Amino acid sequence: MIKRVLIVLILFCAGNSIELSAQNYKYEFDSAFLANYGQPGSLNTYKPARSKRDYTTSMNDYDHNLSSIVSSNFAGMFYPQPYKNFKLDLLLEKDPLPPYYSVEGLYKIDCVYISGFDYYRLWETNKLNPYGFNGEHYMDSLELILFNEDDLGTWHSPLDKTIVTSDFGLRRAVWHYGIDIRVKTGNPVYAAFDGVVRITGYDKRGFGRFILIRHKNGLETLYAHLSKSLTKLGEEVKAGDIIGKGGNSGRSTAPHLHFELRYSGNAINPNRIFDFKENKIISSSYIINHNTFAYLEEANKIRHHVIRSGDTLSGLSYRYGVSVTKMCRLNGISRNSILRIGQRVRIN
């Protein structure tokens, strides 16, 4: 027996936002909503509008009774902008269904990738770091369980052999937020942990062909300079699944894998979690605290190059690994600007 209840809610608020385009989906859910509908036992399907029609939310929920659902808890759901009116269709199902979120009917996401951690509330398929969080301000202590056989899955090295060619840290006056690992073009690249693909893309002036995966354990991992991607947006992967092939795409001088670990958009030194010399993981857990992001004080320092005879923007770009476009933007100049000896050019 299926009970159908139609509830029409009109919300006038200026809360969290949803931004949509054909290629980019950005969702943000507020904690009160996730507390009630982001837990196992509920199925949430979002159908964002492309025009000024009502937002419709359909949910199958079999483990909440009607009185607990139709309550003041709806007051803190999520607030679509710029259209503040939306319609809520609530369906109660008796038969258990696996909880997931459906994005525009294109793919489904297990609720753990939306409600597992605070910053997971934002699902963005275009920006690598949409979270707007500065790790320098992180003062808490959080233990992440990186893997277990019960629900988080296992772990796997991103490559069969992990010979580091460029480490995490300051590199040619610009901070390197990951590590570079030697790879032969076409060699398999593996998912480090169980997760779901949040972004696949191509950046010809930077990462080249890359994949970003959101994991159940609270981390996101980035795999860049691939020759080929073997995943698609929203695809769920297991640790050890082949997600792409090594390469030399983008801003790269030789085949390698650029590998990053991130929490809330802020990079974590991969050497704190992986022992690349032994090609193994250091521990089944990792504690995030202020020291995790202490490097940002140094990384965020503004650095300049003093122009000498013979210096060119393209030469500085090659030397520091910063695109000419970015240097022009940082210094308010154009590609055709004349560089004068003694001039200070900002490079980061």
Rounded CA separation 164/132 (Å): 30
Whole-angstrom CA distances from 8 to 66, 94, 343 are 15, 23, 63
Does residue 57 have a pLDDT over 90? no
Maximum average pLDDT range among 5-9, 138-142, 169-173? 138-142
Per-residue confidence (pLDDT) for residue 115, from 0 to 100: 79
Angle formed by the axes of helices 324-331 and 313-320, nearest 10° = 110
Q: Does 228 score more than 50 pLDDT?
A: yes
Judged by average pLDDT, the poorest of 36-40, 131-135, 153-157, 240-244 is: 36-40
pLDDT of residue 72: 26
Judge whether residue 33 has pLDDT over 70.
Answer: no
Q: Is the pLDDT of residue 123 over 60?
A: yes
SS3 of residue 6 by DSSP: strand
Concatenated DSSP letters for 203-220?
ETTTTEEEEEEEETTS-E
Least confident span in 48-52, 94-98, 214-218, 302-306: 48-52
| Confidence at 29, pLDDT banded by 50, 70, 90 | low
Please report the pLDDT score of residue 28 as a whole number: 54
Predicted confidence (pLDDT) at residue 173 exceeds the cutoff of 90: no
Per-chain mean pLDDT for the chain: 75
Q: Is the pLDDT of residue 73 over 70?
A: no
Please tell me the least confidently modeled range out of 105-109, 257-261, 281-285. 105-109
Q: What are phi and psi of 67, to 5 degrees?
A: -65, -30
DSSP state of 172: T
pLDDT at residue 205 in the model:
83
Q: Provide the H-helix boundaries in the chain.
A: 31-37, 66-69, 112-115, 296-299, 313-320, 324-331
pLDDT at 51: 29
Band (pLDDT 50/70/90 cuts) for residue 52 is: very low
Domains 164-298 and 304-346 equal at CATH topology level: no
198-229 burial: b if 16+ Cβ within 10 Å, else e: bbbbeeeebbbbbbbbbbbbbbbbbbbbbbeb
Which region among 69-83, 100-114, 160-174, 296-310 has the lowest average model confidence (pLDDT)? 69-83
Domain ranges of the chain: 3-126, 164-298, 304-346
- Nearest 5 degrees, angle CA 19-CA 20-CA 23? 130
Topology at the third CATH level for domain 304-346? Membrane-bound Lytic Murein Transglycosylase D; Chain A (3.10.350)
User: Which one is predicted more confidently, 153 or 40?
Assistant: 153
For the chain, what is the total number of helices (H) and then of strands (E)? 6, 28
pTM here? Answer: 0.72
Judge contact between 281 and 274, C-beta under 8 A. yes
Residues 164-298, CATH architecture: Distorted Sandwich (2.70)
pLDDT of residue 320: 82
pLDDT mean over 193-221: 95
pLDDT tens digits, one per residue of 178-190: 999 999 999 999 9
Categorize the per-residue pLDDT at 23 as very low, low, confident or very high, splitting at 50, 70 and 90. very low
Would you say residue 241 has pLDDT above 60? yes
Name the pLDDT band for 104 (thresholds 50, 70, 90): low
Beta strands 266-268 and 100-103: pairing type? unpaired
Mean pLDDT of 194-206: 93
